[in-house]
Structure 1
Amino acid sequence: MTDDLEGAPTEPGPEAPQSVKEVPRSEIAALYELIGPAFDAIDARASSPGKTPQDVVPTGFMDLDRVTGGGLAAASTTAVFGHSGMGSSVLALNFATHAATACDVPVLVVSWESDRDALVRRVLSHTAGVPLTRLTAGALDDDDWRKLAAAMGRIAETPLSMTAGPPTFEVLSARVSEWTATFPSQRRLLVLDGLPHLARLSPANTETSVWDAHTRISAQVKHLAMTELLIIVYTVPTIVDVMRRADPRPRLGDVAYSPAYVADADLVLGVYREDLVERESPRAGEADLHLLKSKHGPTDVFLLAFQGHFQRFVDVAL
């Protein structure tokens, strides 16, 4: 005699796991749904050779933009590192200034390294061509004032915002949400200057937990870029041993705190200035920008000029 008689009660089946039931169907797309938009994007790029794609922001450096397909892409992260004084923060702020002033792209600079007044002075030094030391000291001549007035007229209405680095990722996420709501743009650049400070501010009692904090922050930043379709550039320091090597030029393993900062990034840029290492170097004023990792293209090294008094790197005319 069997148990499956007509009208007999049946045992309820096992409930689906909660995680399975909560996955929205709209978040899952079949290939046939995705291939059309992907083909349209490829066709648009092929139809307009040399034109920057709509989801890409140029860095302002010709060779870097050429190798990376026009610049920095949406939903991506870029790690910029260099030994203290090499100029990684300067480069990241140069990306921000170019995006806002030349491309009208909304930019938010979050800094754990400088306060907002210092950031504004650096942007003014860059755009006006007035030495930062004069701006800081207030020792300006008539020509400096004219340059500043012209620069302020150009940048006053640009979509460039700044904020001090918060103590937790939750606060950072809330500020970013406030900013993105103000600028519902297809291209938005978020610069996190001194990102590892965020992990260092987190409660930690052991070296293992500190390491885990940096790894977690890196993953959270990557997830933020992908979910909000942001272009994120963050700066990280190098390990102390770099300057003790016979060859201190940047390598992927030089990034301090956690290799996740490199592993999670789509692009990794190392800044190197020989004249900072060798005082008698014949390459005074030159910088090498090492593209050490690119998920979608080749690596390369680009020659730039470093104008530290103006807080900027510029292309070298060859």
Structure 2
Amino acid sequence: MNDAARKLAPLAKDQAEQHYREAPNNLEAEQALLGAILVNNDAFYRVSDFLKPVHLYEPLHRRIFEIAGEIIRMGKTANPVTVKTFLKADEKVGDLTVAQYLARLAAEAVSIINAEDYGRAIYDLALRRSLITIGEDMVNIAYDAPLDMPPQSQIEDAERRLFELAETGRYDGGFQSFNDAVALAIDMAGQAFERDGHLSGISTGIHSLDGKMGGLQRSDLIILAGRPGMGKTSLATNIAYNIAAAYEPEVQPDGSFKAKNGGVVGFYSLEMSSEQLATRIISEQTEVSSSKIRRGDISEADFEKLVACSQMMQKVPLYIDQTGGISIAQLAARARRLKRQRGLDVLVVDYIQLMTGSKKSGENRVQEITEITTGLKALGKELNVPIIALSQLSRAVESREDKRPQLSDLRESGSIEQDADVVLFVFREEYYVKNMEPRDEFDPKYEEWKMQMEKVKGTADVIIAKQRHGPTGTVKLAFQSEFTRFSDLADPSLTQYEH
């Protein structure tokens, strides 16, 4: 063998070893865990909250774990005799039949004390295999460079899959048993019972609205729409700040934090800058008019109020992204990052029509809006947070005698109405009545106008036009335009009425 061949021989050996590397697994740990479960069914409950059949490497082990789990959940005993009846009798494991293999697992079972350690080892190896799959896909797609997946969208896709893996320990989705769904529903009811105000969702801080909606429900897409000047941004800002200010974290057993009350809020402000948004919130909290703050027309007492308020607000977990014309893919990637780094309980988007879809939808704005609303709905489910998305209404409202918005007024696409779990309209009659003021105050109609103005002054209607899990109707709120603040009316008898 010449020198060159001698140098290449070990390299070829290394490459061969790398090429045939086996995915990380530990069959002995799987056998030990299954043996412990077959001998003492309590071992199953030590691992069932985090270990699923899909996490086991050997297909036969997956089936044994799944069957044993179903038998135990039914309140029966899982042992080699009861489990073997659900497996193919003629299946072989080396020289052993399935029945002999099950008996061997039970006979060689170790102490139940180690069951959780084995379960954790199996789970970690399954995560490593999932990471390898994501990594291999990234490498293969980057090599192939397909036209329909430019590098930016590949990064977003990889980020989404990694996020799902970090959040749930698996990135494949799949079916969920009805048992698990029922357990989640009962858990949600228990949390509602313990939470302030007994709400199943996150409180908006406006009691009359919570009473009608039960708070903001996780994974819901809530569309908040209105004509310009109705105060939809003000309402969204009020709700976002109320939730962030009420944030009360609770430490979980794994060391992470979860919101007991309130929550961490992400606010995408596509229309206003973060300073404008902050000015609105400061004005609302201090009751100093935002126009006065902007002009600097404030007293020393007002300024002290502003400073005290800003110090208090610095601790509030409200994060603002002011990127204009953001795409749904960019928005999703940033929301995932925020959830991973700071936590996330509510997302606000102001507003849908300022977002962009992918280039695939071309010039068709209806298709683009459809893609955006579908993307927001999917993101809400993925992150398990409510998303409040603001939307404009068509001008058709202005040409009608009755200016109250209807679902058909949602602009550019039926998909907004279709994808939304809740549709809220903000309507301030005061805005329209004010514009109808007769020029001559001695006009006979002036008194009539004045009476009408008194009736609607300082009020706003939030019309719940659609709600998947609750009633529709109208909630009357107080609105202070100088501080852009919505709040509950002082007289509770006026606050709600059904459609």
Query: TM over 0.5: same fold?
Result: yes
Distance in 2 between residues matched to 1:101 and 1:47, nearest whole Å: 19
| Alpha-carbon distance in structure 2 between the residues aligned to 1:47 and 1:157 | 25
Distance 1:161 1:41, change over 3 A: closer
How far apart in 1 are the matches of 2:357 and 2:371? 12
Counterpart CA distance in 1 for 2:330 and 2:171 is: 27
Query: Displacement, 1:215?
Result: 0.5
Deviations 1:21-52 (A, max 9, x none): xx977631121232233234335546779423
Higher deviation after alignment, 90-99 or 162-171: 162-171
Structure 1 match to 2:240: 96
Which SS does the other structure have where 1:248 is aligned? coil
- Out of 330, 336, 340, the position equivalent to 1:177 is 336
Greater gyration radius: 2
Query: Would you say the 8 A contact 2:358–2:368 is kept in 1?
Result: no
**Aligned position for 1:28:** 175
Return the letter of the residue paired with 2:356. Answer: A
Match of 1:139 among 272, 289, 297: 297
Question: Counterpart of 2:237 in structure 1: which amino acid?
Answer: L
Give the equivalent residue in structure 1 for 2:18. none
Normalised by the size of structure 1, how large is the TM-score? 0.84
Mapped to 2, the partners of 1:201 and 1:25 lie a distance apart of 24
Equivalenced residues, count: 289
The CA deviation string for residues 47-82 of structure 1, in whole angstroms up to 9 with x for no partner, is 7794234xx21111111101212x101111110111
Listed as ranges, the matches of 1:159-238 within 5 Å are 159-165=317-323, 166-184=325-343, 188-199=345-356, 206=363, 209-238=364-393
**Which AA in structure 2 matches 1:103?**
Y
Distance 1:103 1:47, change over 3 A: closer
Cα separation, 1, equivalents of 2:280 and 2:267: 12
Unaligned runs of 5+ residues in structure 1 are: 1-22
The residue aligned with 2:211 is 66
- C-alpha change, 1:67 and 1:239, in structure 2 (3 Å) is same
TM-score (norm 2): 0.55
SS at match of 2:424: strand
* Counterpart residue identity of residue 184, structure 1: G
- The Cα shift of 1:306 comes to 1.2
Seen in structure 2, the aligned counterparts of structure 1 residues 148 and 49 have a Cα distance that, compared at 3 Å, is closer
Partners of 1:74 and 1:212 in 2: CA distance: 26
> 1-side partners of 2:171 and 2:292: how far apart?
56
Identity of paired residues, percent? Answer: 27
Partner SS state of residue 307, structure 2: helix
Residue in 2 aligned with 1:86? 230
Q: Which runs of 5+ in 2 are unaligned?
A: 1-169, 249-262, 435-448, 492-499
- Equivalent position of 1:309 in the other structure: 482
2:473 pairs with 1:300: yes
- CA distance in 1 between counterparts of 2:172 and 2:321 reads 37
The code of the aligned residue for 2:460 comes to A
Task: Return the structure number with greater strand share.
Answer: 1
- Structure 1 contact 121–132 (Cα < 8 Å) conserved: yes
- 1:300 maps to a residue whose letter is G
Is the 8 Å Cα contact of residues 380 and 387 (structure 2) preserved in structure 1?
yes
CA distance in 1, matches of 2:383, 2:370: 20
Structure of greater relative contact order (alpha carbons < 8 Å, 6+ residues apart): 1
Separation (CA, whole Å) in 2 of partners of 1:48 and 1:102: 12
Q: Within 1, Cα distance between the matches of 2:428 and 2:300?
A: 33
Q: Is the Cα contact below 8 Å between 1:128 and 1:150 reproduced in 2? A: no
2:347 alignment partner AA: L
User: Relative to total residues, which structure has the larger helix share, 1 or 2?
Assistant: 2
Distance in 2 (CA, whole Å) between partners of 1:237 and 1:51 is: 33
